[in-house]
């Protein structure tokens, strides 16, 4: 069993920054994909930034390329999402996710992830 616990959300003005953290507990050694999804009210949950665990290979949604960075500290069992130049449209609940299926490249597909955190709210407004 794997548990994921996010932290770091909050409210920020447009152009500001936040860093989200996700700590993994349990049988995490076999995780293939790890990443972050966002879900705004009334919308589907969508992949924002993901990586193949331990490889450094990353994948980003077009909407966040150049602004968000995903990284991993395996010694701390933690994945981070550094969010810069935040926009009001980034407002959403952000979920950490882990998947055990080999996908070759980092997947942004929700179906490739089986374990989810409880979510952390990010609000960007003036």
DSSP class of 4:
E
> pLDDT tens digits, residue range 57-75?
999 999 999 999 999 999 9
Lowest mean pLDDT among 22-31, 40-49, 93-102: 22-31
Closest CA to 102 of 53, 47, 64: 53
- Each residue's pLDDT tens digit, 2-43: 999 999 999 999 999 999 999 999 888 888 899 999 999 999
CB atoms within 10 A of CB 46: 15
What pLDDT, on a 0 to 100 scale, did the predictor assign at position 54? 87
């Amino acid at each position: 069993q794997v548990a994921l616990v996010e932290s770091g959300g909050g409210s920020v003005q447009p152009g500001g920054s936040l860093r989200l953290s996700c700590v993994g507990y349990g049988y995490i050694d076999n995780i293939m994909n790890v990443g972050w999804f966002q879900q705004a009210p009334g919308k589907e949950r969508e992949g924002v930034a993901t990586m193949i665990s331990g490889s450094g290979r990353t994948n980003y949604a077009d909407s966040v390329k150049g602004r968000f960075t995903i990284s991993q500290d395996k010694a701390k069992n933690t994945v981070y999402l550094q969010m810069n130049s935040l926009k009001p449209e980034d407002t959403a609940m952000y979920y950490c996710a882990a998947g055990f299926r080999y996908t070759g490249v980092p997947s942004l597909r929700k179906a490739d992830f089986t374990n989810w955190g409880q979510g952390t709210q990010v609000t960007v407004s003036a």
